[in-house]
Amino acid sequence: MQDYVKQYIEKIESYAKVKNEQAELLLIGGLAMSFYEIPRHTIDIDAEIKCSEEFFIGLVEYLRKEKINFNISENISGWGVVPLPAKYRGRAITVYKSDFLILKILDPVDFVFSKLLRGTEEDFSDATEVIKRYKIEKDLLAEREKLILYPKDTETLFFKKKFQHLMELL
């Protein structure tokens, strides 16, 4: 695990210890890449969190005080118009567990879809690296895509184009 990843985790865990409360984070983005064994530098924490309201409010204040950039909410699937494949939480993988902190990452296939939601060059690069690392086949991506509950929205059409582009790259 890279030092900056360890530092972010230690900060959150130390806050949880002070509060004597367990929190669960489902990491996405650059921090998650380290747990997929594809380290890349990141300057923020992107995660879904399970905790009490009081813990969440305090953690936000703590991270701001520590000058740590973050995007943390209780529903990462709601970050865009197009949601993640249904039941992604049940497929998440626990990568760290202590009395005060549980860290999870998305199943690698779900992670690919999380990267398509934003769809920047860096996101496509992350997605293709995970696809290569885990030898994810097009058929599996196509099957998982069927679990997305697409809204009737122009963003859905854009997402589907990004997905088709990714499939063509494979």
Give how many domains the chain has, as a whole number: 2
Q: Do 78 and 24 share a structural domain?
A: yes
pLDDT band, residue 42 (cuts 50/70/90): confident
Q: Do 133 and 54 share a structural domain?
A: no
pLDDT tens for 85-134 read: 999 999 999 999 999 999 999 999 999 999 999 888 999 999 999 999 99
Q: Do 95 and 35 share a structural domain?
A: yes
pLDDT given at position 119: 85
Residue 115 in tokens: 């990267």
E runs forming strands in 14-78: 23-28, 44-50, 69-73
- Are 129 and 97 in contact, with CB atoms under 8 Å apart? no
Domain boundary among 53, 83, 107: 107
Q: Do 165 and 117 share a structural domain?
A: yes
pLDDT tens for 48-80 read: 999 999 999 999 999 999 999 999 999 998 888
Q: Do 127 and 85 share a structural domain?
A: no
pLDDT at 1 over 70: no
Angle between helices 154-169 and 121-133 (to 10 degrees): 50
pLDDT given at position 91: 98
Q: Do 31 and 44 share a structural domain?
A: yes
Q: Looking at residues 41-51, what average pLDDT do you find?
A: 91
pLDDT tens for 142-151 read: 999 999 999 9
Q: Do 70 and 146 share a structural domain?
A: no
Q: Which residues of 62-76 are buried (b: 16+ CB within 10 A; e: fewer)?
A: bbeeeeeebebeeeb
pLDDT tens for 8-20 read: 899 999 999 999 9
- 154: domain range? 110-169
Q: Do 101 and 40 share a structural domain?
A: yes
